[in-house]
Amino acid sequence: MIETFPTIDVWADAAAHRLAAALEEGLRDPAQNGWAVFAGAGGSTPESIYQRLSNLRSYPAWQHTFVTLVDERYVPETSPESNAALLKRTLLRNEAKGAEFLPLFRSAVTVDRAAALATHELTVELENNRLDAVLLGMGEDGHICSMFPGSPTLTTLLTPSLKRAVYGVPAGRDGAAPPQ
């Protein structure tokens, strides 16, 4: 089903309410032990959605919500390129300030080691390894979750039997990857 919206504001409101409804449903799932899990994208598109979601009084359970990212650049939060910084600036405030944030970036030796550390933390915290609400975005070059069109690693990343984990995509790998 394709749904259209008359303005960006109406679209952002609808997206925020849908995400909140999915989180509420996750809270009611007994397998989730009273917690909901949200994973969001970076970039400029989701900012208005995050701002609205952070102000929703209709979703009162942020203190029982884990928030993480679907992808992250290998930069600290002090960088303007950091998706974690974007989430903290736009979502993890107001009503949503009580959410528990699970970052992907770690100042480890390599991007692959940082990914392994993030996988471990997410596995420990998210017992069921399930996301209740996910907001994906697409970069101007067509990439989603650091999966770049035409990249040889894309086949591996899209393998259905691939273990659920955070995977590192080092800068410049295959000539089609993020600058950081």
Asked, for residue 114, whether it belongs to a domain, the answer is yes
Give the CATH number for residue 57: 3.40.50.1360
Asked, for residue 84, whether it belongs to a domain, the answer is yes
Looking at the 3D structure of the chain, how many domains does it have?
Answer: 1
Question: What are the pLDDT digits (tens) for 8-44?
Answer: 999 999 999 999 999 999 999 887 788 999 999 998 8
Asked, for residue 89, whether it belongs to a domain, the answer is yes
Asked, for residue 23, whether it belongs to a domain, the answer is yes
Q: Which domain holds residue 57?
A: 8-142
* Tens-digit pLDDT string for the chain (180 aa): 999 999 999 999 999 999 999 999 999 988 778 899 999 999 888 999 999 999 999 888 999 999 999 998 888 999 998 999 999 999 999 999 999 999 999 887 788 898 999 999 888 888 777 899 999 988 888 878 877 787 777 888 889 999 888 888 766 655 555 655
C-alpha distances in Å from residue 27, one per residue of 6, 125, 131, 161: 31, 15, 11, 28
Q: Which of 89, 75, 96, 123 is nearest to 16 (CA)?
A: 96
Asked, for residue 160, whether it belongs to a domain, the answer is no
Asked, for residue 176, whether it belongs to a domain, the answer is no
pTM value surpassing 0.75: yes
Asked, for residue 2, whether it belongs to a domain, the answer is no
d(CA 116, CA 111): 9
d(CA 152, CA 144): 15
d(CA 78, CA 95): 24
